Structure 1
Amino acid sequence: AGSCANESVITRTWTLTDECNNTTTLVQTITIVDTTGPTLITPLDLPSSVICSNVPDVPELSFEDDCSTNNITVVFEETSTFTGTEEIYDLIWTWTATDECGNDTVITHTISVVTENFTEEIEADRCTEDGLIDLYEFLPNGADTSIEWVVVTDGITIIDGIFDPLEVEIGDYVFTYTVSNNGCLNTYEVTIHVNEDCIVLPCGEDDLKISKAVTPNGDSYNEYFTVGGVEECGFIVDIKIFNRFGDIVFESRDYQNDWNGQSPSGSVGSAGRLPNGTYYYVIEIKDSGIKPLAGPLYLGTK
């Protein structure tokens, strides 16, 4: 037997005998050795020159072998002469097919690639008080975010793609981000216009108007406990009402200015109405930056 399954030795023996019983023996030895690599059977229809945006997909090549029918392995390797500055570079594709006896067939194809540079301009307005700006948020979904931004505007620095408008003067600031794909350079040029046109929401603590008394007597005055001054900002108001013993007698998330002294349990006072007296509120204006507010509230009929 040879060094692989398809190698073997065939021995043929002939014995010649004459009428006097004299014999002569002839031996023929045939050694079968597989030294031929697999044969490519897939048409290799590939261009020799393309622009970077038209580089074809790598084809899957098929091979056959006279001695190895199933045990053929194919390894693909791609090498490139592109270093980032060439206008034309070579893309070398190599397929190595190996049979079970270790015989190789190497197929190589070289594509000459012409590079291109695409630039997408992005502009954004930001106020000095808008907070930190993550430049990576301007990139499309799925973009490679492992590359560093280039600061085009002199005199400023960024760390990990974070730009702070509070640290610069009013003006325009330009940053670029370049991604290479087969020599196609996709550059995103982001221009941020830093200004002082900050929107100030009229919803500070001084703008709040909180009821001091609730007198649900039908005269349309102080009929409900109201929290005003936050309507334009769309903030959500959470409230809790306590009696003088510290018990919660009413609470609401996303309060709609609709409490008139009723107790949700319906078991206190006339028709579920709380007794007259002084109560205490705690108000939280969600996501407003305003600290929780607390104070007294008079509930009566006059």
Structure 2
Amino acid sequence: VEALPTDVTVSCDAIPTAVVLTATDNCDASVTVNYTEEFSGQEEGCASEYTITRAWRVQDCAGNETSHMQILTVEDNEAPTLVSVLEDITVACDNVPEVPTLEFTDNCSSNVTQTNFEETSTFDGSDSDYTITRTWTVTDDCGNVADFTQNIAVTVNTTVTELADSRCIDDGTIDLNDYLANQSEDGTWEVTQGSVTISDDGSFDPSGLNLGDYIFTYTSPNNGCLIATKVTININDDCIVLPCGQEDVVISKAVTPNGDSWNEFFEITGVESCGFVANVKIFNRWGAKVFESNNYANNWNGTSDGATFGGAERLPAGTYYYIVILENSGLKPFTGAIYLGTK
């Protein structure tokens, strides 16, 4: 009696309900339409694409039969969608978030598989801001692929450590790399004050220079940020021959402030009679300064002076790095590692 449904192609999440058909007969007053439905063509791994065959059949009491068939071709052409929130953000270089774990869903497939993740960065080691691009690629059971991208605009910060030294004009070649502690080798030196030329290896000859302060800055990349050492060297002509040499200086290898009277403090010995003033800086393994003294008195026992931790406190055991400058000694800066223990 009703209009017969035609063959259609439908999305896997929009399959229409079967039409209810009725029939009449010229002789048989009571005829019933029988409805059947069959599924076929389902591919392995892709459960949301198949064929539905719907059949309506009616027969009167004399065996006269009428039937109608409708074929529905079910397709899955829609890619997965993102459930999690993923937004473009702007952060400082030392606050870049970890890669998040995202949740995806699909209109038909029960499984959504992440097939690829890629992260690229435009960081070039300079102080220019840059962009990190993260891209997730996912697919559903029927091979529909979607990409989801997050752009992170990163602002570059530079952590600066400042050092000062005095050198005599007749000291000979000065190697600026002697002032570096726990800083990568892929940085560059530049002259930020004074008329002086430094070599490619970071050294210069002070002879012939005008007396005064010269400032040199070494900048290198550090996990997407920059770390810099700013060295101010006073070039003077106060060349004094002292009875103390580089080989006379003895610097502690370990500090164990546990009350047993051994290695309680970080000590610089061997040149007490020379009257040198020791400038000491101590850094942790990330390059953060944890202690500084411009007139060191052999009294550091593993506490932070507040430069890193916001207040004096006992530092954790581990390896730290020092720079020792003996003012007016004519000696090169001393650098090395110091082990801090608690037992």
TM score, norm. by length of structure 1: 0.48
Specify the structure having the higher radius of gyration (Cα): 1
TM-score, scaled to structure 2: 0.43
